[in-house]
Amino acid sequence: MFEVTKETIIADILQNAPEVVPLFNEIGMHCMGCAMASGENVGQACAAHGVDADAFIAKLNEFIATLN
């Protein structure tokens, strides 16, 4: 099973579980295809957007678990 951590690169998440895009959109991360997504990890993105990384990562992993 694919699991997200603070160090997981956003592009890797999108490659493994593209269904999570709406969760990113909900917190204001609308640029999933931009250059930052290919080099920025979840922790960095959450910090830049003022989002609690631990809570968001838990939500992502819960959602991803339902896909399997």
Q: What is the pLDDT of residues 35-64, one digit of tens each?
A: 666 788 999 999 989 999 999 999 999 999
Residue environment code for 39-63, b if the CB has 16+ CB neighbours within 10 A, otherwise e: ebbbbbbbeeeebebeebbebbbee
Pick from 66, 67, 17, 68: nearest CA to 42: 17
In a domain, 1, yes or no: no
65 Cβ contact partners less than 8 Å away, ≥ 6 residues apart: 1
In a domain, 29, yes or no: yes
In a domain, 2, yes or no: no
Its domain, for residue 35, covers: 10-67
The amino acid at 7: E
pLDDT of residue 46: 93
Q: Where are the alpha helices (DSSP H) in the chain?
A: 10-16, 21-26, 35-39, 42-49, 53-67
The count of domains in the chain is: 1
In a domain, 43, yes or no: yes
CATH at residue 30: 1.10.3910
In a domain, 3, yes or no: no
In a domain, 4, yes or no: no
In a domain, 39, yes or no: yes
Query: Which range, of 4-8, 15-19, 33-37, averages the lowest pLDDT?
Result: 33-37
